[in-house]
Structure 1
Amino acid sequence: MFETSSFDRPRTTSGDLVVDGGRPPYPAAARSVTVPGDKSVSHRALLAAMLPGAPSRLTVRNANLGGAVRALLPAMRTLGFRTTVAADTLTVEHGGPVTPQPKRPHPDITRWPDGVPYLETGGSSAAARLLIGVLAGLGRTAVVDGDETLRHRPMSWLAEPLTRLGADIVHLGDAGRLPVLVRGAVHRPCTVELTVGSAQARSGVLLAAVAAGLPVTVRHPVRSRDHTERMLAAFGATLTESPGEVRYDGGPVTVPPVVDVPADPSLAAYPVAAQLLAGDGGELSVRNVCLNPTRLGFFDVLRRAGADIRYRDMRLGSSGESAGTIAVRGGTKGVDGVRVDDPATLHALIDEVPLLAAVATTLPGPSWIGCAEELRFKETDRLTTTAGMAAAFGARIEVADDGLLVSGGAPLSAGHVPSYEDHRIAMAAATLATCLPGRTTVSGGACHRTSFPDFAEVQRAVGARITEVTPR
């Protein structure tokens, strides 16, 4: 069994999303949309500016500008980097002014070190974990912290292997949680064993090793998203991969002055799902999407179930990622219930589990999404909150220790649905609501800005009637 935190209770600090379900009488014609840059690639591209071999000025084009990526910018400014945001482009330059440090950012932490840079990363676990890895590689002393929600998410997955490599990491609050004091560079070449399949843990270790020029072998229990490996290889790192492990030889990297970020497949999943649920037979294309196989689980699972989803126009980009077009034809006739039975597939759709469960509620028969224990430790316990969100529509989802059993085909209806202030839950709820007659209010749904600021605009381009209402 896994703990369910207090953060799983509904909260409504964001505005609401209001969806008037049922599609207007659009012709069954082809439409095309774009979605923002990939969040994971954007995080890694920003942090590449800190690596040895990075240019004095790094430009990241088509960056994701949601709250999770922006959470890195104050931390980088504190470390002496100048950051500029213009349209969808982020620029990072060396030699910016260092942000003055508060004497003690959180008075409740009694062991706060004086004169140490304080890096606050909001609610972004990727920002915190990857930053810890880079700091440990560079040997830069700093405190890394996050908001109250992030302080409840585990950091030992990363801290323990970095400590084995020689880093000195001190938990200033609860054991295994933020805030942490990072001091002393990794310096012991060895093999580390990761206890979870988290890509953030593997990436943090690899970024530390590359920043230090330290040979390392990382063993991992499951293949998960490999953006870090692809990007580092594109920058010249020698990585050798085999089943269950990746080895880095300690050689240098050269970061190019411009990195182009492909569109985020996790965000493309929402308009694809809306088009699929619309059932009008029309085709939707989402352009320039990252087609990394470790990110395509949502589409591949639905394809196996019978959905008409295709990949076209594939090419290789400067970040080491394949990109192309995802095309989907609307309608779920002939689409069966879905199954996720292995860890690799789960990790290839880990952020889309709430959305996949929402789609599964409309399909005939049972669906199973398993191997999902890690979802207990996201922004919310996403197994519990996904079931709670779906239940508000009338769906039947049973929560197991490691997954969700969806009883498809139950009558669904519009209504008032909680988001639990979790952006993935909010967007899944709003997407499901597009196919249900009547008005649905997703409370706190504006938290979608964490990862997808343009969510409502993109869904309207697909034909949805969705608005954001600011609380009074």
Structure 2
Amino acid sequence: MLDARSGPRKEFDRPDTDSPDLVVDGGRAGEAVGAGALSVEVPGDKSVSHRALLAALLPGAPEVLTVRNANLGGAVRALLPAMRALGVAVDADGGTLTVRRGALPVPQQVRPHPGVTGWPEGVPYLETGGSSAAARLLIGVLAGSGTAAVVDGDEVLRHRPMDWLVDPLAELGADIAYLGEDGCLPVWVKGPVFRPGRTVELRVGSAQARSGVLLAVAAAGLPATVRHPVRSRDHTERMLASFGGVLDEGDHELGWGGGAFTVPEVIDVPADPSLAAYPVAAHLLWGDGGTLRVPGVCLNPTRTGFFEVLRRAGADIAYEYGNGGTEGGRPRGGEPVGTVVVRGGLEQAGPVRVDEPWLLHALIDEVPLLAVVAARLPGTSWIGCAQELRFKETDRLTTTARMAGAFGARVEVAADGLTVRGGAPLRAGVVPGFEDHRIAMAAATLAGCLPGRTTVRGGACHRTSFPDFADVQRAVGARIAKDPL
């Protein structure tokens, strides 16, 4: 495996059988075919759920914080052991999380890392599993609050880059040491950011890196300016603004004034647009008429790129604000909400093209899904500006191409994107999921429109972000076998 900071990983050899398989039979269930109108709900947004949980660690947070409609997939649950290790109790009741500060004793222990010496004694060990968002955002909060701790993850996360965040935090004065491979987890957050009025420049457009820096200066009450190369999801900015924080946004620049803010007692999380994309894509791929509605969805323009690209290509996708099943359209967690309305299929659609970095970041999690939809469209599609995908749970450019190729799609990998040549005959069969939830869910969605039976190897890894994936897809007509435990 290559150094995560110097280049993409080579052929991904992680086994794809850790999770049970998903079995999908092609064709839409009879009762859903040509339905006049279907409505389906999807879980809360994963990114907003992470930030809402971490808000409990910020100054001005209440002793008890309630997060409603939280995403309870594996990526969000990965944050819970770390919070407990900081003395924060998190109780789940359905989609509601109750977060209590100081409710648990802080364990004074660390876990040894094979082959590494010099681990600190007497500081909490914070395990974040495979969630890069949990790790990076947590590092930012720790560096801002001056809380010493070791942040670690699983073997895959230990090879994903952390210097995107650690370097700018160091410019602000934070003392952070790598305890394993340089630039990667585990890291020891030793001392806080303290240099006011600094300007830091991020090397990548990662929203996690920008959010980690912003959470650090917010927690420290430290004025700072963050320069970034591309606009990407801005959930942290919106949430802090909803708390009363003052931000000054310019062209590729964000200023934080360092003032006080107040975390409310309740944070409502909107439905996840990245998860809404799967029933939307399934409805379009079947193309058997009718209308699909997905209410309460976060319509933040930094997250709706999948819908926008398909609208440009000719798909009939619209948004309803106001009363469209979204509690009068009031913002949730600082986010605009509405209903995604999809009519018909892809009969009038042509190839898709993603050339702008901001647009890629607005659909970065949906690239595997967009690629398999593009395989069903005429002409040649291009999804570019996507080099960051090489550092996800897998090298998602390579694994997307391999997954789609197993169906017979013609997908070519470039250094920074994918070329998809539509029109190739696609077939059901056994396809790899690579233990990557986005790859597996894209494969299962495409399988629903193909004759015959498809087995997605390790497909139940969808629980990382979308525990109810199979149930939601069945609600719109997919024939997915009962999700194995």
State the TM-score, normalized to the length of structure 1: 0.98
Measured in 2, the distance between the counterparts of 1:198 and 1:335 equals 31
Correspondences of 1:380-419 after superposition (within 5 Å): 380-419=394-433
Tell me which residue corresponds to 2:80: 73
For residue 111 of structure 1, report the CA deviation from its aligned partner: 2.1
Structure 2 residue 22 is the aligned partner of structure 1 residue 14: no
Tell me which residue corresponds to 1:166: 173
Tell me which residue corresponds to 1:340: 354
For residue 114 of structure 1, report the CA deviation from its aligned partner: 1.2
Correspondences of 1:118-267 after superposition (within 5 Å): 118-189=125-196, 190-267=198-275
Tell me which residue corresponds to 1:23: 28
Write the letter of the residue equivalent to 2:58.
L
For residue 468 of structure 1, report the CA deviation from its aligned partner: 4.4
Kindly tell me: are residues 24 and 200 of structure 1, through their superposed partners in 2, closer, same or farther at Cα, counting changes over 3 Å? Answer: same
Tell me which residue corresponds to 1:89: 96
> Structure 2: where are the runs of 5+ without partners?
1-5, 323-328
| Contact 2:109–2:121 (CA under 8 A) maintained in structure 1 | no
Write the letter of the residue equivalent to 1:123.
G
Measured in 2, the distance between the counterparts of 1:156 and 1:185 equals 16
Measured in 2, the distance between the counterparts of 1:288 and 1:71 equals 25
Tell me which residue corresponds to 1:306: 314
Residues 22-80 of structure 1: per-residue CA shift (max 9 Å, x gap):
12332332000000000000000000000000000000000000000011111111101
| Contact 1:14–1:470 (CA under 8 A) maintained in structure 2 | no
Measured in 2, the distance between the counterparts of 1:99 and 1:80 equals 5
Residues 63-108 of structure 1: per-residue CA shift (max 9 Å, x gap):
0000000111111111011110100001111122225344533243
1:116 equivalent among 123, 126, 148: 123
1:433 equivalent among 427, 447, 456: 447
Write the letter of the residue equivalent to 2:420.
V
Write the letter of the residue equivalent to 1:364.
P
Measured in 2, the distance between the counterparts of 1:74 and 1:409 equals 47
For residue 313 of structure 1, report the CA deviation from its aligned partner: 2.0
SS at match of 1:64: coil
Tell me which residue corresponds to 1:47: 54
SS at match of 1:183: strand
Measured in 2, the distance between the counterparts of 1:110 and 1:253 equals 41
SS at match of 1:154: coil
Residues 391-439 of structure 1: per-residue CA shift (max 9 Å, x gap):
0000000000000000001000000000000000000000000000100
For residue 3 of structure 1, report the CA deviation from its aligned partner: 2.6
Kindly tell me: are residues 117 and 103 of structure 1, through their superposed partners in 2, closer, same or farther at Cα, counting changes over 3 Å? Answer: closer
Residues 222-263 of structure 1: per-residue CA shift (max 9 Å, x gap):
000000000000001110001100001000110000000000
Higher mean alpha-carbon deviation, 46-55 vs 111-120, is at 111-120
> Structure 1: where are the runs of 5+ without partners?
none
1:370 equivalent among 372, 380, 384: 384
For residue 7 of structure 1, report the CA deviation from its aligned partner: 4.4
Structure 2 residue 290 is the aligned partner of structure 1 residue 285: no
Measured in 1, the distance between the counterparts of 2:385 and 2:411 equals 16
Aligned length: 471
Measured in 2, the distance between the counterparts of 1:204 and 1:251 equals 18
For residue 110 of structure 1, report the CA deviation from its aligned partner: 1.3
SS at match of 2:47: helix
SS at match of 2:418: strand
Write the letter of the residue equivalent to 2:148.
T
| Contact 1:10–1:418 (CA under 8 A) maintained in structure 2 | no
